[in-house]
Every structure is written in structure tokens, then in C-alpha cells.
């Protein structure tokens, strides 16, 4: 802990019951990185400085409010300037500010140092989920999408809310304890912001640009965050869940995923019947499309058009594949080409053509998708 | 407040009567009254939106509104409060009081003055009407960040036009104020003898002229990106979404001072009156106001610490922001020094002014905490920021507006405000304000983001508390309506010309209520 941090911490012991401050209900979440700890200490230091100024300034004001009243027989003095006093109360704050700026500067320099990472992960914000790509270090090549796993029934109050309501995902990001992780942050559609409070990390995800930040978690555990930049309808429903695990557990996780993904590739490399595609397409729809176009396919017009009955969905394959693969500029419809495999695109488009009132009765094969992609 | 300027009593008024009188009026008092009524209506409209938001946030889960409508409500709440309530209210004060304070018979450009007011109702109709068009109102947040704002429906275009219109109105109002103050002061009223309210408005008017065109440019670029194929903010076309944020906040930070400097002016008029002692450090107040205004142009990116700017940029904007605390501190110290060894009484205006100093300064402290870039990176876009800017905007700007309204109500209506009801209004507002917004600091620190219709369970109890407070605060504002209607209908104690025992200034030399035409014979200031 830095000097100011130690000062701050000891003052907290004096000024408040430790219990109140240790809980995250009234304060920052307990920090698990050195940066988060510095931020925590900076904040405590600021609170104490502000509290002292507050007591002095308002002590004077309320003294005056109670003593210098007409009803108590106070007679007004007539002074209206005093150069010495005015210089003093301009200069002293400057020194106080310098005292604040100094530790803050050190923390900034530390926060910005993203050199020499052990692992590099790219996080991509989508409306409304996060995608993770492990780009460098152990686990390189792993990529997955992380969706809110809280059931709709809980959100709509038809079921009791679970302990981690709105803070839980299907595929959490996993990192080893003690490793320096460099995060590359970007977005696919609008601006999002990747925020994990316990790490002291918040970085806007800007479409078309990549920004970086870093953390080194000192403690194993599950740490939860949320998207911090308004990104549309489901901004409140795209949390971040990070599991910090031991080095061996991490190696196991990496191996497990490798095996599973080989198995998946093998399983996908077969002839798909229409029913298989529709079944698989239903899963893809639930994970990627349902937030906007709704389970009923009715959408929320005009922002999110209905797919049930849509001429585009029922028409030429090329038109449907184009919008799924490439999205539509200026709307919330994302380009899913980068997120979904050929099989997944084939499955979900086949599902659309044969669900709700749509009964085209054909299928779109993975090969066809591959063909469209290469064109 | 229709009874404010009883033209029947004064034979020199021969204009149209009835509705046409208000539509065609070029009288600064009529126009001031219309601004004040307009802003109060917008305040109630924005308040209803806020209470709908708080109703949804009363408990976790989605109950009252769907997320789309929720985002529309937060967006329009912000736009309506900033551009419809706070800014026009201050312009209303300027119209009413600046000519009276400097001894001018009217504003410099009386016809333009009429036009700057009458632009506002169409803008308000565009904004509120956008709820009822396909796709609803814009839901991109009052900051209208692209690319999200590019995705919106036609409600967004309506908001853009509304911003354009309100911007033109503000610029015309500002030009009028600058020219009035510089050219129409009574003989002997030198710049350094001017009431501080005029000084703060003069500086505010320059800020308005400087930054409203910047905002207009930013939203026009949004418009052309939306409809005419440009790519200012679209990376795929070679643009940059963050460019918009730079332009917006280059307007946005001076904008927060546009909303607070006139408030400083009002409070600087009231404290000396009720302390029965001249304002301490008049000259340093003028210099402090000017330095705040100048510094406000070089701190904009403190709203963008999480966008990932270069380290040197973060450091620069942090230092510059911290520096603003110095002149702001000087102001607070001067007010307290004015109170010191005065002979104070606490009629309603003074209560509001004292409440302003106390609660606004808490917003100043959290502003200082936000200015520390590493801390801001944690609390940016959380409820902590929501708490911060409501402490400076509600407890700052709004409380000062109420202080001023109670202070000058006798001059406007000829009746003293009812002290009992006024004090009730003050204490209810102060208490409910803190119940609403104080817990939001804790919510933000503990990790609750802003602009969300639903939240995790650990935030439930503070949200419930804030919602209860918000409804109390909202209802308390009806008390104000009661006081004003009572005075406007000619009930209550009659006011003398110098309505408050120790009030100083030219406005107190004309009768209460101020006749329709004042200072047709130019007063001389010694
Ligand atoms: C001591 C003076 C002040 C300081 C140091 C200060 C500092 C800041 C900072 C650093 C932020 C950015 C927080 C963030 O978005 O993460 C902020 C936000 C804000 N401040 Fe202040 N502020 C001060 C006074 C004021 C005043 C006087 C007003 C208005 C009357 C104001 C209105 C706002 C608003 C509206 C926002 C939120 C903008 C948004 O939507 O992000 N502030 N302030
Ligand atoms: Cu978001
Ligand atoms: Cu600012």
C-alpha cells in the first residue's frame, strides 16, 4: 500500500466502523488487482480530504448561521473585502489539489502500462452480449460468446430471482490467477463498455477501433461486471463474468475446450437433414436473435422487424443470407458472419424459413453458406 | 402570474389584448413571465418522466415500462430538463430582472426577444410529440452518442430539430442580454458596480454564443450521417464515433456552467440582502466567474476518461478539471464571508440560498472526486455520476431558481410569498432531495450502472429509498405552484417597493408589482 493509502486506511479505522466500509454496499467492491486497490485508496484519501474541508467550511457557515442572527441581536459589520484572506483561500486549495493530483498521476501511469502481457484477450461488444477471443498466450485460439443466463421469467417476475440475478452468463471468461491479462476492447455495432469493478477496469468498446487495458487478478474467485455504456434496449442485460482460477485449473479448462471444439467440428462435418438444421437453428436463434426479433418472431416494429411472415425471410436464399452474414448499416442488425459458423448460419436461416407461420419447406445447406461467404 | 403586469393600470399600454397580447408582446416583463411559465411546465413534464423512471426502478425486475420506453424516458427527461426547464428559467429571470437592475427601459432587441421565446413551444412540441411517432422518442441518452443515435427512428430527427430551434432561441437570447448589458446601463452604473446577477449572465451569454453553434454542428453531423450518407462518426466510412463525444462535450462542459453561473448570480444577490451586509469580495467574484468560464473550455474530455485517450490527455484533462475547483471554492468562501458577522434573518429566499450553498458544495466535492481520472474510470456511467450532477443541477441550479423566485415574487406580483408555505416547500424539497440522491452515491460506488431499467439484487433497498424520495420531491413542487398562484391572484401581504428590509439595487426603487413600463426616465446611479 502506498503512503497515502496507508494514511487513508488508518484514518478510516479512526473515523468509521471498519464493518461499514469493508462491505461493498457503501463503497467500492473489494479490490483484487493492484490498480483497483490504488483506486480504492485514492477514493478513501479524497473522501477524507473532502470531509475535512466540509467540516471546516460548513462549521464556519453554520456557526455564522446560528450566531450572527438578527433575532439574537447581531449587528451587521460592514467589511466587504480583505486581500490577505482572499489570497490565502486561493493558494491553499492549490496545494491541496497538488496533493490529490500526485498519487492520481502515479495510478494513471500504472493503469496505462499494458506492456508484456502473459495472455491477450479481445472482448467484442455486441448488441447485447460479449464475445471473447483469446489471441495470445495459453489458450490462444479459444473464442466464444457470452450471453446473459438469467431466465426471462425471473426478469418478468414470474419466477423468484436468483442470487446472481442479471450478473450471470452462460460462458464466463476464464483467466489464471496472477497472470497479466491484456484486454483488447472493441465493438461490433454501437459503443459498449467492458467493466469489472473488482479489477478497476472500465474501457469503452468502440466500433471500428481497438483500445486496450490490463489487469492481474491476485485472488481466485468469480468477479462480475456489467456493460457500462448505454447500448440500446438490452444494455442492462449484458453482464460480464470472469472466473479467476489456479494455473492448473486454467490448463484443464483450455484443454477441455480444445477437445470439445474438435468434437464439434467433427460433429458438424456431416450431412444435415432439414429437421436437424431446424433443431440446431432454434438454439442459435435463442442465443443470438431472440433479444430483438422475439421468441414469437413478431419483433418489436419498427425498430426490430418481424421475421414471422417476412418476405425477405421467405424469399431468395441470397437475400436472407446477405442480411444475416453482413447485417444492415445504421440499424441494430449486426453482421453475424464473424460470429457464426457455416453450419450455424445454415441452421438458423433454415429455422426461420420453417417456423411460426413461415413454411417454405426447404433448407439452406452449410455448403451454400460457405459458397456465399467466399463470393 | 398573469396579474403580474396589470397593464390596465398604466395608460401607455395600447397593444392588443387577450391571447394576441402575449403572442405579439415585446415587453421584457411579459416575455420574462412567459419564459418562467414555460420552464415550469417543462419542469413538470420532465418530472413526470423522472417519476416513471423511478417507478420502474422501485424494485428489481421489469414492471412498469419496457426497456425501450425506459430509455426514451431517460433521454427525454435529460433533454427536457436541460433545454426546456433550467435554461429557459434562467433566461426568464434575465428578461425580468436585468433591465430592472441596470436601469434600462427594456431589452435591447425587443422584437427579437419575442421571437426567441416563441421558438421554444414548437421545440417542446417536437420533443414531447416524438413519443407518439413510430419508433417513439430517441432513446440514445441526452448525450445522443452515435452509433446508437444513428440506429434510432424519426424521433431522433425530431430531437435534432428541437435542439436546433432551442439553440437559435438561446443564441438570440444571449445576444440580447450582451447588448442590453453593454449598452443600456443607466448613467453611473459602471461595469464594476453592476449587480453580480448581471455579471454572471453576461459571462453566461458569451458561453452560450460560443458553444450552442458547436452543439448545432454536432447534431447536424448526426443528421447527415443518418440520412445523407456521410460518415463523420462511422468507422466503416473512415469516421470516428469518439469525434462526436469530443464535439458534444466541447459544448457540454461549458453548458453545465451555463446552467450554474446565473445561479451563482442569484445567490450573490440574496445573501447580502438577508445578511444586511455588502457582498464580500465583489471583484474576486467577477474574476472567479470569468476564470470558471474560460477554464470550462479546456476540461471537456473529463467526460471521456474511459474512451481510452492517450495518457498525456488523461493527465491534462484531470489537472485542468481540478483547477476549476479553485475559483469555485473562492465563490463559496465569499458567500460565507458575506454571512459572517452579518445580521441574518431566514425568510424563504435566504433559506433556499443557504440550502443551495450547503448542498451544491456537496456536488462540488463529488465533482472533485470525479475529476481524479482513475476514480472516474470506476464511477463513470454509474449512479455516482447521476448523484453528482443532480447535486449540482437540482440542488444547485434549481434551488437557486427557487431562491430567486421567492426573492423577486413581490416585484413580479406585488404580493409577498407566503412564508409558511414557502418554508414548507423548502424543507420538503431539501429532505426529499437528499433521500432521493444521497443513496445513489452508494449505488454507484458498489457498481450499479446508469441508464438501466433493471438491476442486480444487492441494489434493491437503496433504489427503493431513492424512489420513495423522488415521489416526495415531485409532490413537494406542487407546493411552489400554490405559493405562486396565491401571490399572482393578489392574495397575501402587499409588497412595498423595497420588499425586503435590506434589499439593495435599482429593481427595488420601482413599485411592486413593477409597472408595465419602468425607467422610461433614466435613473442615475451615484
Ligand atoms: C466543482 C465543480 C465540478 C466538477 C469538478 C465537475 C466534474 C465532473 C466530472 C469529472 C464529470 C464526469 C463524470 C463522468 O461522466 O464520469 C461530471 C459530470 C457531470 N457534471 Fe459536473 N462537475 C462540476 C460541476 C458541475 C456543475 C456546476 C454542473 C451543472 C450545473 C455539472 C453537471 C454535470 C453533468 C450534467 C454531468 C453528467 C454528464 C453526463 O451525462 O455524463 N457539474 N462533472
Ligand atoms: Cu451497454
Ligand atoms: Cu464537464
At residue B6 the predicted structure's pLDDT band, cuts being 50, 70 and 90, is: very low
Interface of A with B in 94-133 (CB under 8 A): 94, 97, 100-101, 104-105, 107-109, 111-112
Eight-class DSSP state of B494: B
Does the residue B224 lie in any domain?
Answer: yes
The total domain count for chain B is 2
At residue A327 the predicted structure's pLDDT band, cuts being 50, 70 and 90, is: confident
More confident residue, A105 or A338: A105
Which domains are present in chain A? 3-111 (no CATH), 119-265 (2.60.40.420), 270-373 (1.10.760.10)
* A89 contacts on B by Cβ (under 8 Å): 329-330, 333
Query: Tell me, what's the pLDDT at B225?
Result: 96
B304 with B428, same domain: the answer is yes
- Among B196, B230, B259, the domain boundary falls at B259
B22, pLDDT greater than 70? yes
B467, pLDDT greater than 80? yes
B240 with B277, same domain: the answer is no
Does the residue B479 lie in any domain?
Answer: yes
Query: Tell me, what's the pLDDT at A375?
Result: 67
Instruction: Give long-range contacts, CB 8 A cutoff, 24+ apart: B51-56.
Output: B51/B470, B51/B471, B51/B474, B53/B77, B54/B436, B54/B466, B54/B467, B54/B470, B54/B471, B55/B467, B56/B453
**All three cell numbers of A107:** 495510478
What mean pLDDT value characterizes chain B? 94
User: Considering CB atoms only, which of A43, A166, A225 is closest to B375?
Assistant: A43
Q: Which candidate, A213, A204, A209, places its Cα nearest to that of A114?
A: A213
Percent of chain A with pLDDT over 90: 64
B158 with B268, same domain: the answer is no
- Among B259, B279, B300, the domain boundary falls at B259
B65, pLDDT greater than 80? yes
B255 with B275, same domain: the answer is no
Does the residue B5 lie in any domain?
Answer: no
B285 with B233, same domain: the answer is no
ipTM: 0.91
Show Cβ contacts of residue B399 under 8 Å, excluding neighbours closer than 6 positions.
Answer: B263, B352, B355, B356, B359, B360, B429
* B60 contacts on A by Cβ (under 8 Å): 161, 165-166
B104 with B181, same domain: the answer is yes
More confident residue, A177 or B524: A177
Contact B341 A107 (CB under 8 A): no
At residue B13 the predicted structure's pLDDT band, cuts being 50, 70 and 90, is: low
B287 with B412, same domain: the answer is yes
Which whole number is the average pLDDT over B163-183? Answer: 97
What mean pLDDT value characterizes chain A? 88
B9, pLDDT greater than 50? no
Cα–Cα distances in angstroms (integers) from residue A100 to residues B119, B319, B351, in the given order:
46, 10, 33
Which whole number is the average pLDDT over A104-109? Answer: 95
Cα–Cα distances in angstroms (integers) from residue A349 to residues A285, A344, A356, B172, in the given order:
9, 8, 13, 56
- Which residue from B266, B389, B449 has its CB within 8 A of the most atoms of ligand 1, so it is best to mutate? B389
CATH number at B148 reads 1.20.210.10
Does the residue B345 lie in any domain?
Answer: yes
Cα–Cα distances in angstroms (integers) from residue A94 to residues A47, A101, A108, B3, B289, in the given order:
17, 10, 20, 51, 17
pLDDT tens-place string over residues B87-135: 999 999 999 999 999 999 999 999 999 999 999 999 999 999 999 999 8
B189 with B250, same domain: the answer is yes
B184 with B284, same domain: the answer is no
Domain that residue B200 falls in: 26-259
Query: Tell me, what's the pLDDT at B491?
Result: 92
pLDDT tens-place string over residues B220-273: 999 999 999 999 999 989 999 999 999 999 999 999 999 999 999 999 999 999
B166 with B216, same domain: the answer is yes
- Among B231, B259, B287, the domain boundary falls at B259
* Ligand nearest to the Cα of B356, by number: 1
B11, pLDDT greater than 90? no
More confident residue, B454 or A76: B454
| Distance (Å) from the alpha carbon of A60 to chain B's nearest alpha carbon | 8
B225 with B294, same domain: the answer is no
Query: Tell me, what's the pLDDT at A303?
Result: 79
Contact A230 B323 (CB under 8 A): no
pLDDT tens-place string over residues A44-75: 999 999 999 999 999 999 999 999 999 998 88
At residue A292 the predicted structure's pLDDT band, cuts being 50, 70 and 90, is: confident
Contact B61 A202 (CB under 8 A): no
B224 with B326, same domain: the answer is no
Which whole number is the average pLDDT over B134-141? Answer: 94
CB B382 within 8 A of CB A236: no
Contact B236 A302 (CB under 8 A): no
Q: Any CB–CB contact under 8 A between B287 and chain A?
A: no
Amino acid at each position: 500500500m502506498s503512503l497515502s493509502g496507508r494514511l487513508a486506511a488508518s484514518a478510516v479505522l479512526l473515523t468509521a466502523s471498519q464493518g461499514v466500509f469493508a462491505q461493498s454496499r457503501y463503497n467500492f467492491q473489494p479490490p483484487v488487482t493492484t490498480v483497483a486497490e490504488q483506486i480504492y485508496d485514492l477514493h478513501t484519501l479524497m473522501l477524507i480530504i473532502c470531509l475535512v474541508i466540509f467540516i471546516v467550511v460548513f462549521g464556519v457557515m453554520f456557526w455564522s448561521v446560528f450566531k450572527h442572527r438578527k433575532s439574537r441581536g447581531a449587528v451587521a459589520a460592514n467589511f466587504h473585502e480583505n486581500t490577505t484572506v482572499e489570497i490565502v483561500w486561493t493558494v491553499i486549495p492549490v496545494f491541496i489539489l497538488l496533493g490529490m493530483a500526485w498519487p492520481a498521476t502515479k495510478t494513471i501511469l500504472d493503469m496505462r502500462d499494458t506492456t508484456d502481457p502473459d495472455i491477450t484477450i479481445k472482448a467484442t461488444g455486441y448488441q447485447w452480449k460479449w464475445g471473447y477471443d483469446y489471441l495470445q498466450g495459453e489458450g490462444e485460439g479459444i473464442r466464444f460468446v457470452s450471453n446473459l443466463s438469467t431466465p426471462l421469467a425471473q426478469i418478468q417476475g414470474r419466477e423468484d430471482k436468483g442470487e446472481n440475478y442479471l450478473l450471470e452468463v452462460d460462458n464466463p471468461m476464464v483467466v489464471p490467477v496472477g497472470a497479466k491479462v491484456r484486454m483488447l476492447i472493441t465493438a461490433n455495432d454501437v459503443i459498449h463498455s467492458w467493466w469489472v469493478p473488482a479489477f478497476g477496469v472500465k474501457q469503452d468498446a468502440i466500433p471500428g477501433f481497438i483500445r486496450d487495458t490490463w489487469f492481474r487478478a491476485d485472488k481466485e474467485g468469480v468477479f462480475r461486471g456489467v456493460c457500462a455504456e448505454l447500448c440500446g434496449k438490452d444494455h442492462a442485460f449484458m453482464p460480464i463474468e470472469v472466473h479467476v482460477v489456479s494455473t492448473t485449473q486454467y490448463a484443464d479448462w483450455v484443454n477441455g475446450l480444445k477437445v470439445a471444439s474438435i468434437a464439434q467440428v467433427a460433429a458438424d462435418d456431416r450431412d444435415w437433414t432439414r429437421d436437424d438444421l431446424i433443431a440446431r437453428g432454434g438454439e442459435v436463434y435463442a442465443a443470438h436473435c431472440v433479444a430483438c426479433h422475439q421468441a414469437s418472431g413478431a419483433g418489436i416494429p419498427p425498430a426490430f422487424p418481424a421475421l414471422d411472415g417476412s418476405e425477405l425471410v421467405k424469399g431468395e436464399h441470397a437475400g436472407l443470407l446477405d442480411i444475416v452474414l453482413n447485417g444492415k448499416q445504421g440499424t441494430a442488425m449486426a453482421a453475424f458472419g464473424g460470429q457464426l459458423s457455416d453450419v450455424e448460419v445454415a441452421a438458423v436461416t433454415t429455422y426461420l424459413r420453417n417456423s411460426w407461420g413461415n413454411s417454405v419447406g426447404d433448407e439452406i445447406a452449410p455448403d451454400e453458406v460457405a459458397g456465399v461467404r467466399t463470393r | 402570474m398573469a396579474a403580474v403586469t396589470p397593464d390596465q393600470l398604466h395608460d401607455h399600454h395600447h397593444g392588443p389584448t387577450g391571447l394576441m397580447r402575449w403572442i405579439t408582446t415585446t415587453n421584457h416583463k411579459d416575455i420574462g413571465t412567459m419564459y418562467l411559465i414555460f420552464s415550469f411546465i417543462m419542469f413538470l413534464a420532465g418530472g413526470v418522466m423522472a417519476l416513471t423512471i423511478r417507478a420502474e426502478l422501485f424494485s428489481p425486475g421489469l414492471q412498469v415500462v419496457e426497456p425501450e420506453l425506459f430509455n426514451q424516458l431517460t433521454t427525454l427527461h435529460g433533454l427536457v430538463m436541460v433545454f426546456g426547464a433550467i435554461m429557459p428559467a434562467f433566461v426568464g429571470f434575465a428578461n425580468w430582472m436585468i433591465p430592472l437592475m441596470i436601469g434600462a427601459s427594456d431589452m435591447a432587441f425587443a422584437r427579437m426577444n419575442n421571437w426567441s421565446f416563441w421558438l421554444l413551444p414548437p421545440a417542446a412540441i417536437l420533443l414531447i410529440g416524438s413519443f407518439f411517432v413510430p419508433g417513439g422518442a430517441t432513446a440514445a441518452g441526452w448525450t445522443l452518442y452515435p452509433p446508437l443515435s444513428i440506429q434510432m427512428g424519426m424521433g431522433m430527427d425530431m430531437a435534432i430539430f428541437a435542439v436546433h430551434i432551442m439553440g437559435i432561441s438561446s443564441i438570440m437570447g444571449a445576444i440580447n442580454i450582451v447588448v442590453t448589458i453593454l449598452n443600456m446601463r443607466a448613467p453611473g452604473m459602471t461595469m464594476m458596480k453592476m449587480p453580480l446577477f448581471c455579471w454572471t449572465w453576461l459571462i453566461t451569454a458569451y458561453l452560450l454564443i460560443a458553444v450552442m453553434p458547436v452543439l448545432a454542428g454536432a447534431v447536424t453531423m448526426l443528421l447527415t450521417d443518418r440520412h445523407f450518407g456521410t460518415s463523420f462518426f462511422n468507422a466503416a466510412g473512415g469516421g470516428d464515433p469518439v469525434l462526436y463525444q469530443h464535439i458534444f462535450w466541447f459544448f457540454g462542459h461549458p453548458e453545465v456552467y451555463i446552467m450554474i453561473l446565473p445561479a451563482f448570480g442569484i445567490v450573490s444577490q440574496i445573501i447580502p440582502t438577508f445578511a444586511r451586509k455588502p457582498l464580500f469580495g465583489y471583484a474576486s467574484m467577477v474574476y472567479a466567474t470569468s476564470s470558471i468560464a474560460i477554464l470550462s473550455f479546456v476540461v471537456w474530455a473529463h467526460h471521456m476518461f474511459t474512451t481510452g485517450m492517450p495518457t498525456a490527455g488523461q493527465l491534462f484533462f484531470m489537472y485542468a478539471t481540478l483547477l476549476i475547483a479553485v475559483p469555485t471554492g473562492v465563490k463559496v468562501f465569499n458567500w460565507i464571508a458575506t454571512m459572517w458577522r452579518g445580521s441574518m434573518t431566514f425568510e424563504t429566499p435566504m433559506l433556499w440560498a443557504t440550502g443551495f450553498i450547503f448542498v451544491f458544495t456537496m456536488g462540488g466535492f463529488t465533482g472533485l472526486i470525479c475529476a481524479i481520472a482513475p476514480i472516474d474510470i470506476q464511477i463513470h456511467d454509474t449512479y455516482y455520476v447521476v448523484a453528482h450532477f443532480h447535486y449540482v443541477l437540482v440542488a444547485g441550479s434549481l434551488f437557486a431558481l427557487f431562491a430567486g423566485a421567492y426573492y423577486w415574487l413581490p416585484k413580479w406580483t406585488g404580493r409577498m410569498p407566503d412564508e409558511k408555505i414557502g418554508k414548507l416547500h423548502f424543507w420538503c424539497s431539501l429532505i426529499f432531495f437528499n433521500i432521493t440522491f444521497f443513496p445513489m452515491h452508494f449505488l454507484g460506488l458498489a457498481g450499479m450502472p446508469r441508464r438501466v431499467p433493471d438491476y442486480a439484487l444487492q441494489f434493491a433497498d437503496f433504489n427503493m429509498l431513492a424512489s420513495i424520495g423522488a415521489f416526495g420531491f415531485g409532490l413537494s413542487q406542487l407546493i411552489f405552484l400554490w405559493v405562486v398562484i396565491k401571490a399572482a391572484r393578489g392574495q397575501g401581504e402587499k409588497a412595498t417597493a423595497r420588499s425586503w428590509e435590506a434589499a439593495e439595487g435599482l429593481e427595488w426603487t420601482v413599485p411592486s408589482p413593477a409597472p408595465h413600463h419602468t425607467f422610461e426616465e433614466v435613473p442615475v446611479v451615484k
